[in-house]
Structure 1
């Protein structure tokens, strides 16, 4: 592929630095814009930066938006739609696809309108109304905040009590602590089963094959306990249009084509022997999911995103086994505590005990005089990946690579991928979700 010009845009937090770096490593010209002042130094030394993304539009062959947020507002979908109308090639959503993540009720309406099975759910703007609903309909529920406060991941709560009493207690606590910011919340009936996400890349007309299937690990500690985080690690594999795909995105393909969506889109589900129950959309790249997906690309990353943005049918070649990605973090992640971050993490050196950097990807990191250092303020410097013919082999490679890294005070989950080995894979096979349709 001849050299192309790629403009990556982070209009809120800096998230896409690693992909920009990987595309540059392939020999393409890259410029990266970061809006958040606190994140400006992220990816310094790895990729060239720009202070004016709009001034680079005519230079760029491909424009990539990394999230749906423009500061505290949803808005990259509108920008992407406008730029495509002007003739630019853009990886990004639309106002309606942005809304799939921001408005959970709308997302469920889209699913139901297209014949996708959904679980019982109710939206509330009043805490007492939600509490009354649980008391009148006792059951375990999941609390999902609505609006911008949903980005505070620790506010998502999965109920444990059959009578919903713990959900009532949490709602009362949220009313006191978050009532001024939480514009509403959704209550979903909790369903037992295997949690799996279906993720596809859409080129404006159809999904690119193969399809990605991944397993999120959102809790901070091994065993899936502790506070919720954005994500502590992901395991995955790639496959064809199996039953999981056909009963979810297979029914939404025409809707996405009418929208002109371009990019990655993910739908997280609970599945069991009775059916598939979608939980939520991610109509953008997932993090660190996209890092692990890119690691499993065996064809050119730059060519893939160029073809995707131009409406071509990319020839995507991927690793045929299993992949594991582990987020390596530092204090005070996942919380905000400037003093703790300054004392323990800011500008910390990343030391490698060998010359290899295979499978090591940047998040909040920078390169200063040849030395990798921690950047930003979030305490998420690295994602370390592994691949293998089995999930266990992928785990061993990823954790072996982490053993080669030294950062004072680092921590990570050591159980990424274990759920598949301990039975999730067998259950999905037994229920008939992974074979061809």
Structure 2
């Protein structure tokens, strides 16, 4: 089979790596890909991002299945457009993609179908939002309505912090229109968990849980990033928590998908907060998380292509996804200065013995040399029978990966 994989991050490198292991796969074109997919087995990068051009490419190359990595093309209706041309594509159609594309849409969906989530108010007027800040309790959470590459959320300890967030989102427009509408919601205290899942619109199968480490500095300090590392499975997601999640969040979401007649054959990612009062849904994503994907797919024993095919043919109820019984940690190596200013273009050296445990993200291949090309440059994987072994393996493997000004957290997997 020939596949087309859309995207350019660490998530896409991990997807390409996993899909390439399927004996059914002959070739994977990655659009536009990165330095990791450029050197991955069975893969070839193509410099195409425009949806119409991708459709033409899929027709010309007789692509069997297109797999969409990032959220933006999904919210722009890439699935609808491919389907109109008779092309097979994995991902939700535009209506279902709005569960991530608009925070206000997703909160209204949660409310309608009784999905357990934080109390909230929606504002599209800065003056009204600022007035609301006079009476709301703190800390409070302010989210931009649209897509902001995982950076459009502020946890505000004080009214001053909240005013600053509202002004930067709505008046300074730092997210180019994504913050013209905002959601102000109740702050939930607890532990975050990520559960990636796959759905065919009739069944949802949750993958193993994960715990992202969002902040840039050790101890969960400093500004939020796209994610500095992941532990899977998440030790806080006990059997009891999983049942709570299934009953109050996952199953009700599935009812909503059916009732709203979303054409949803793709990934649905549940961002959870585990509190003393139970498990709450913070947000939906309609694609694999990054860097959750790198850890979760590393533990998946099943053939990912077969799982995707089952979703596309609405047969998920008939399959079981098999998992390795180990613990997996991935540690993100970033360019020093991220999430602020940083320098690109440094050579990356990866020892051959850890090549299969490194997923590249902000990296490019230039004259056969891998170079840094982004904030989060790569993820290094470690596995073991328990948390200690996995941590030891990951931080040992980091010694075999070098580039100038590399920065990483030293406490990934230390979750207390």
Residue 196 of structure 2 corresponds to residue 199 of structure 1: yes
Q: Please list the CA deviations of residues 297-354 of structure 1 after superposition, one character each: whole Å capped at 9, or x if unmatched.
A: 122233333333333334421122432222111144323x4xx42xxx31513232x6
| Inter-CA distance 303–368: structure 2 relative to 1 (3 Å threshold) | farther
Q: Compute the displacement of 1:365 (Å).
A: 3.2
How many residues are treated as equivalent by the alignment? 395
SS of 2:355's equivalent? coil
Task: Give the one of 264, 267, 272 matched to 1:269.
Answer: 272
Matched, 1:412 2:408: yes
Cα deviation for residue 116 of structure 1 reads 1.5
Pairing partner for 1:302 from 302, 305, 318: 305
Cα offset, 1:87, TM superposition: 4.7
Q: What's the counterpart of residue 99 of structure 1?
A: 98
Q: Which of 44, 62, 76 pairs up with 2:38? A: 44
Does residue 232 (structure 1) correspond to residue 237 (structure 2)? The answer is no
User: How far apart, CA to CA, are the structure 1 residues paired with 2:122 and 2:114?
Assistant: 21
Deviation, structure 1 residue 107: 0.7
Q: Deviations over 1:10-53 (max 9, x none)?
A: 3x878513322432354522343435xxx776632332133443
- Unaligned runs of 5+ residues in structure 1 are 423-437
Pair 1:401 & 2:397 matched: yes
Change (3 A) 1:200 1:13: closer
Q: Which residue of 1 aligns with 2:354?
A: 356
Distance verdict in 2 for CA 1:16–1:418, change over 3 Å: same
CA distance in 2, matches of 1:216, 1:14: 14
Corresponding residue SS for 1:223 = coil
Q: Distance in 2 between matches of 1:256 and 1:324?
A: 32
* Partners of 1:43 and 1:365 within 8 A in 2: no
SS at match of 2:117: coil
2:78 aligns with 79
Aligned to 1:326: 331
For the residues of structure 1 that align with 2:145 and 2:64, how far apart are their CA atoms? 36
> TM (normalized to structure 1)?
0.81
Q: Report deviation, 1:125.
A: 1.8
My pick for the range that moved more, 122-131 or 85-94, is: 85-94
Cα distance change on mapping 1:296 and 1:118 into 2, 3 Å:
same
Following the alignment from structure 1 to structure 2, what is the Cα–Cα distance between the partners of residues 404 and 14?
18
| Residue of structure 1 equivalent to 2:244 | 243
What's the offset of the Cα at 1:366? 4.4
2: CA distance, partners of 1:259 / 1:138: 36
CA drift of 1:175 comes to 5.4
Task: Provide the aligned C-alpha RMSD in A.
Answer: 2.8
What is the alpha-carbon distance in structure 1 between the residues aligned to residue 247 and residue 382 of structure 2?
A: 29
In 2, Cα distance between equivalents of 1:41 and 1:281 = 29
Measured at CA, do residues 40 and 166 of structure 1 come closer, stay the same or move farther in structure 2, by a change above 3 Å? closer
Report if aligned partners of 1:198, 1:245 keep a CA contact under 8 Å in 2: no
Aligned residues of 2:34 and 2:365 also touching (Cα < 8 A): no
Structure 2: gaps spanning 5 or more residues: none
Q: Is the 8 A contact 2:14 2:293 kept in 1?
A: no
Displacement of 1:277: 2.2
Counterpart secondary structure, 2:219? coil
Counterpart residue number, 1:346 = 345
Contact conserved, 2:299 with 2:326, CA < 8 A, in 1?
A: no
Separation in 1, partners of 2:383, 2:72: 32
Q: Report the CA distance between 1:200 and its aligned residue.
A: 1.1
TM norm structure 2: 0.85
